[in-house]
Chains A and B, each alone.
Chain A
Amino acid sequence: MIGSFKAEILKLRKRPATWVLLGVVLGLTQLFGYVLPYSSWLTSDQNFRTQGLDPQAVLAGVLPGELVPTSLGGFPVFVGALALILGALAAGSEYGWGTMQTALTQRPSRLATYGGKLLALAASTLLLVLVTFALNAAVAGVIATIESRPLDYPSLAELARGIGSGWLIMGMWCGLGAVAGFAFRGVALPIGLGVVWVLGVENLVSAVASSLLTSLQPLRDLLPGVNAGSLVWSLAPGGGSSGEAPPGVIDAVTGGRATLSLALYVATFAGVGALLLRRRDVT
Chain B
Amino acid sequence: MKRITVTMRTSTTGLLAAVVLAVAGCGSPQTASNGAIESSLVSKIDATLGGGGGAVAASAAETLGTPDGWATIKGRFIVRGNPPAGTPISMGENKDMCPPATTETVVVGPGGELRNVLIYLEDDIPDDSAEAEPLWTHADYDIAKNADKPADELLPQQRAEVEFDQKNCRFLDHMFAFRSNQAMKILNSDPFGHNTNLETKDKARPFNQTIPAGGSVVYEPGGTEKRPFPVSCAIHPWMSARMIIRENPYFAVSKEDGTFEIRNVPSGVKLGFRVWQEGAEYLEDVELNGEKTTWSKGKLELQLDDGEVRNLDVVVDASAFE
Tell me whether A and B are bound partners.
no
